[in-house]
Structure 1
Amino acid sequence: MKSAVRPLSFQGPAREQSVALVFLAGAIIGVLGGMIGLGGAEFRLPLLIGVFGFAALQAIIMNKAMSLIVVITALPARLFAIPIGDLSPYWFIVLNLLAGSLIGAWIGAHWATRLKSKTLYRVIGALLALIAALLFCTHFFAVDPLTVADAPRIIAGVAAGVIIGVVAALMGVAGGELLIPTIVLLFGTDIKIAGSLSLAVSLPTMLVAFARFSRDKSFSVLGQNKRFLVTMTLGSITGTIIGGLLLGVIPSLVLLPLLVALLLLSSVKVWNHDSRTQAYFCGSFTSTPVV
């Protein structure tokens, strides 16, 4: 018989301490992401699995819900910095990528609900290593935008969108770490414009993945862990804002290698994760195996 891990929940007299600890964990992840211009979901996923003991699919769904809320709250600030009128000449890029990412999101979410637990941990581990490599390359190596004709660029945009949609769904992330370099390299846009366009692609893409996840019984993890979800999301949003304010305070030559190393370590831990392992966080949480 297979075993799984029931979602963790706040219990007992340590409830207030638990709220503070979960908020702090979300804030730390948000700061890490904010300092490099990301939401931090790629760092949050291994935390949900390795520290808080959520099973792989449950962690993906929780991460996706938090990422969705973070993106929605980030949109007004982004539109204030770069008005929607400045983005109007680039809507064809959004449509081009969405043509693939919406399909990819459904496929990725479907695979996540069908893969065996051990396989899903391995997939997540491999994707974390991929994100680490991509994070390193995009920050330390300058690559000129590709020079291709319109038709091949459109085809490449759809193909890239499918891949990004699959990866984002399998990790429960918004996909900005993949979308931004794709938009810059494939369409030659300014990186600030690319950041806003990535949000426009991410939001509907996440909604499609969310709709697919909602058809699986594991989706109930959200209702069973409302307090946890709200607390960590608030921590993530707070941390992202703080991280954005600290942008550039720590030199990239110091920060990026540390974050890449953290992702690689998380990749190994998740790859070797035993779905039967019980995780306890400072005595404030409990988990019970389900046979």
Structure 2
Amino acid sequence: MIGLGGAEFRLPLLIGVFGFIALQAVILNKAMSLIVVLTALPARLLSVPYADVAAEWSVIVNLLGGTLIGAWVGATWATKMRSATLHRVLAALLVLIAAALAWSHFGSAGPLDLPPVTRAVAGVIAGLAIGVVAALMGVAGGELLIPTIVLLFAIDIKTAGSISLAVSLPTMLVAFTRYSRDKSFHVLRGNARFVAAMSAGSITGTVLGGLLLGAAPAAVLIPLLVALLLLSSVKVWRHQ
């Protein structure tokens, strides 16, 4: 309903409700996020033609120059952190995502007027940071990518959403590859039915969300979701 993949809301559930430790939850979240993104990309072609996205190939390449490196670095950090430390990092990132969600829906800042070279450098730096965050949390990163694309490259919000998915997919594959080298990756094999069930629920939810688009006013829905993320951050921070 709000244009996100839902991974930022899934992560606290995996930790607080289903009882997975931090790294296992991140890996499970990444797997399910990957499935949702693979589903969302072709679905969006109905409203945003492929030609519109392909025309912005330079923006995609620019951001990937940072996100691919950031994804590998973020996944490496996650596999080396103590579980308690990773819980607190995830809690802080949930607060960051809440702020980005609130800003992207209620912020009024216009695109930045930057020289081409400065814009390209800023794109790589922003991509690097977003890649790290996405890998650490197991999310697609759209809540950070979309505002970045709109601000840096002055692209409309609908096209920015599709560009975000085009950047997210290879970025997530890089993080997934890095996680596959860690012993915690076996959590996918041991919980295959759980992953399949929750992924099916996520995909069904995207269809229902699309049908209900506009049913709940953003002025009510977004503050509730921001509050939920902030509450989740507290629970994840305190999680043992």
* TM-score of the aligned structures, taking structure 1 as reference length: 0.82
**1:90 counterpart residue number:** 56
| Aligned partner of residue 56 in structure 2, secondary structure | helix
**C-alpha deviations, 1:181-207, integer Å up to 9, x for none?**
100000000101101100110000000
- CA displacement, residues 243-282 of structure 1 (integer Å, 9 cap, x when unaligned): 12212111111111110100000000001111xxxxxxxx
For CA contacts below 8 A with separation 6 or more, give which structure has more relative contact order. 1
Amino acid at match of 2:48: I
Alignment partner, residue 18 of structure 1: none
Q: Does 1:267 align with 2:228?
A: no
Question: What is the SS of the residue equivalent to 1:39?
Answer: coil
Residue 165 (1) aligns with residue 131 (2):
yes
Q: Which runs of 5+ in 1 are unaligned?
A: 1-34, 275-291
Q: Of 202, 227, 239, which aligns to 2:168? A: 202
Quote the offset at 1:39 in angstroms: 1.1
In structure 1, what is the Cα distance between the partners aligned to 2:138 and 2:132?
Answer: 10
Per the alignment, residue 237 of structure 1 pairs with 203
In the alignment of these two chains, the number of paired residues is 240
2:111 matched to 1:151?
A: no
Which amino acid in 1 is paired with 2:44?
R
Asked which structure has the greater CA Rg, the reply is 1
What is the Cα deviation at residue 89 of structure 1?
1.9
Mapped to 1, the partners of 2:45 and 2:215 lie a distance apart of 24
DSSP-derived class of the 1:80 partner: coil
- CA separation in 2, counterparts of 1:251 and 1:49? 30
**Which moves more between the two structures, 238-247 or 177-186?**
238-247
Q: What's the offset of the Cα at 1:178?
A: 0.6
Equivalent residue for 1:107? 73
Moved more, 94-103 or 71-80: 71-80
TM-fit CA distance, 1:80: 2.6
The residue aligned with 1:282 is none
1:23-43 Cα shifts (integer Å, max 9, x gaps) = xxxxxxxxxxxx111111000
Q: 1:18-37 residue pairs with structure 2 within 5 A? A: 35-37=1-3
Distance 1:226 1:69 in 2: 13
Is the 1:37–1:244 contact (alpha carbons within 8 Å) kept by the matching residues of 2? no
Select which of 193, 196, 202 maps to 2:159. Answer: 193
Residue pairs, 1:34-53, within 5 angstroms: 35-53=1-19
TM-score scaled by structure 2?
Answer: 0.99
Letter in 2 for 1:185: L
- 3-state DSSP class of the match of 1:101? helix
Q: Does 1:251 align with 2:217?
A: yes
Match of 2:178 among 204, 212, 217: 212
Measure how far apart 1:81 and its partner are: 2.1
CA-based RMSD: 0.7
DSSP-derived class of the 2:18 partner = coil
After superposition, give the CA deviation of every residue in 1:10-56 in whole Å (9 maximum; x if it has no partner). xxxxxxxxxxxxxxxxxxxxxxxxx1111110000000000000000
- In the TM superposition, structure 1's runs of 4+ consecutive aligned residues that sit over 4 Å from their partners are none
